[in-house]
Amino acid sequence: MFDNINKPKGLKRVYLATLNSLRAFNWLVKNEAAFRQELLLLVLVIPITFLLDITIKEQLILIISTLFILFTEVLNTAIESVVDRVGLEIHPLSGLAKDLGSAAVFISLVIAVCTWVAILL
């Protein structure tokens, strides 16, 4: 049971939060195909940025725009998990929540593509 009164503080809180994040990352890699695909994209584009004739600032912008895709995928998966936790029956609001999460991922992909095009052209 969660103890809301005696929550960890200081470095212990940071350590436990890091463990939780690593557990979530591990779960995503094992269970979410979209996350694995986007992670592969990130692993591929990082070395490519070192081969381009661009500034360090532009390189960082390209990498961050790709990381943003992963960020939105994590939020989308969180939304889907909460909706599924509440109930697996089909409901318009459940579908809307999942569609909105998917739209967020789509927008992040558009942002990344626009960023890459703007810097490379």
Q: What is the pTM of this model?
A: 0.88
pLDDT of 49 over the 90 cut: yes
Separation CA 86–CA 95 (nearest Å): 12
Burial of residue 105 (CB within 10 Å: 0-12, 13-18, 19+) is: buried
- CA count, 13 A, side-chain hemisphere, 75: 17
The yes-or-no answer on residue 89 being catalytic is: no
| Identified catalytic residue from 32, 73, 80, 89 | 73
Q: What percent of the chain has a predicted confidence (pLDDT) above 90?
A: 90
69-93 pLDDT per residue, tens: 999 999 999 999 999 999 889 999 9
